[in-house]
Amino acid sequence: MQEKKAQLIAIVGAAGVVDDPQVDESFLLDHEARLSMEPHFLVRPGNVEEVQEIVQWANQTLTPLVPVSSGGPHLRGDSLPTAPESVLVDLSGMKQILKIDRRNRLALIQPGVTYSQLQPELQKEGLRVVTPLLPRANKSVIASLLEREPVMSPKYQWNLLEPLRSLEIVWGNGDKLYSGSGVFRGEKEEDWQKGMVPLLGSGPGQLDFYKFVSAARGSMGIVTWASVKCEVYSESRKLFFVPAEKLDDLIDFTYQLLKFRFGDELFILNNTGLAYVLGGTAEEIESLKNVLPAWTVIVGITGGQILAREKISAQENDIQDTARQFELKLMSEIRDCHSAELLEILLKPSREPYWKLRYKGGAQEIFFLTTLDRTPGYVDTMFTAASRHQYPAEDIGIYLQPVHQGTGCHCEFILPFRRANGHESGRLQDLFSNAALSLFRQGAYFSRPYGTWADMVYNADAGTLMAMQKVKDIFDPNHVMNPGKLCF
């Protein structure tokens, strides 16, 4: 132990090594409540060289490493050590915004950079980054993008990894590689001027390196910076509600907007989901749940660089026409909730406590990818499972987020529970596993197979499993990176 500690101190300095780190509250929100292993140390590298040295050291000593970039709470257990004698690699200290390039709409950031840190800086340059729905204020932008967390604006998602572009990766073997066009990392200002910039995500060459670290939960390597594609910031924004009592009634309307790429933010929430977003306290949520429409499409329109108002007005009218065509209404207010208020909320990270935890202090989430037309079927399945497990259906927050310009849809069920209540927790765990299995059998695509989902998914996909193992053996031959999380 002491020897290892000394070795780590030699790499990051004494201040960078924490003994017996408390796996604090936030880590215990692991959604499968799997028993974690106490990590031995937590190290805080300050730069890529230190990261490389830590990984090389881990290979020499065969020590498991668990990279963490975001602050808690960690709902999904990806940062929870599950192997003995692990070392947490805390990247939250690497939080420099290395560059914001307005012309090429790129931000070059380190893994510790959070949405709340990045967004105001981008705004100064006339840019913004599309975000997931209410990320935690301390959520690492890179971690979120690597997790393929869906963003609220599907129209900007040209592929499922957007807006992630080039990366600097330290692989599990300690080797450093620039993916995409990261080799042009604009170390000199003149390179930025000349356009020698890290703006491609793919490649380089014939492998798509950044795909190996995406949704890998730190099991392939550690990303030490990333370039992120930004959108133009515009003061002119409008948000609308399109409510309906039945989800089915919103599907074709949403498809139409997706097809025409009308709307910037575009997603669907059920009354409970919207209440979780809007309500500041459990009481507020409770009363909102009861008054909000059963289902609401939330659609935002953003002006652009030129003729912003004209654009907004044209789109507002077009969306209005589309809504009418489907016998729906485009509204700025529903049941005392003004869309401007919601817009305010959506433009920032989640207030504290984290929105999914506000109602009962704890929450489980089941999420997967599917297509929008299939979501009503999954909602039925989820409700059936809830009733079977005596979980109150009215507590299930549902968030449907079209992704990749509408080819797919992220479907998320938020299941709040009181962690202190052992009985409730236990019931919820049963619901969680059974519902996930039913949904999976029904064709839900668990594209980010956290925890127990991994077995379920990979057992059904031997081809991918085999390919992944080959890739893992190349980039992390000693399996030191976050073992036990996926299929290795």
Nearer to another protein, 260 or 383 (CB): 260
Decide: helix, strand or coil at residue 105: coil
Nearer to another protein, 106 or 239 (CB): 106
Rounded to a whole number of angstroms, the minimum distance from the CB of residue 386 to another protein is 22
Nearer to another protein, 245 or 310 (CB): 310
Nearer to another protein, 420 or 474 (CB): 474
Nearer to another protein, 245 or 473 (CB): 473
Decide: helix, strand or coil at residue 45: coil
- Please state, as a whole number, how many other Cβ atoms lie within 10 Å of the Cβ of residue 445: 16
145-180 exposure pattern, b = at least 16 Cβ within 10 A, e = fewer:
bbbbbbbbbbbbbeebbbbbbbbbbbbbbbebbbbb
C-alpha triplet 397, 253, 285: angle, nearest 5°: 20
Strands 295-302 and 237-244: antiparallel
Rounded to a whole number of angstroms, the minimum distance from the CB of residue 38 to another protein is 26
150 Cβ neighbours under 8 A, 6+ residues apart: 132, 133, 401, 403, 410
Hey, what are 474's tokens?
């190349």
Interatomic CA distance for residues 246 and 228, integer angstroms: 37
Cα→Cα distances 380→31, 129, 445, 468, Å: 22, 34, 17, 34
Nearer to another protein, 86 or 179 (CB): 179
CB-based contact 470:238 (threshold 8 Å) = no
Hey, what are 431's tokens?
């619901």
Beta bridge partners of 302: 237
Nearer to another protein, 19 or 373 (CB): 373
Rounded to a whole number of angstroms, the minimum distance from the CB of residue 244 to another protein is 18
Rounded to a whole number of angstroms, the minimum distance from the CB of residue 59 to another protein is 16
Interatomic CA distance for residues 359 and 280, integer angstroms: 9
Give the ranges where 62-202 is alpha helix by DSSP (H): 115-124, 141-146, 189-194
Rounded to a whole number of angstroms, the minimum distance from the CB of residue 251 to another protein is 8
Rounded to a whole number of angstroms, the minimum distance from the CB of residue 240 to another protein is 16
Rounded to a whole number of angstroms, the minimum distance from the CB of residue 253 to another protein is 12
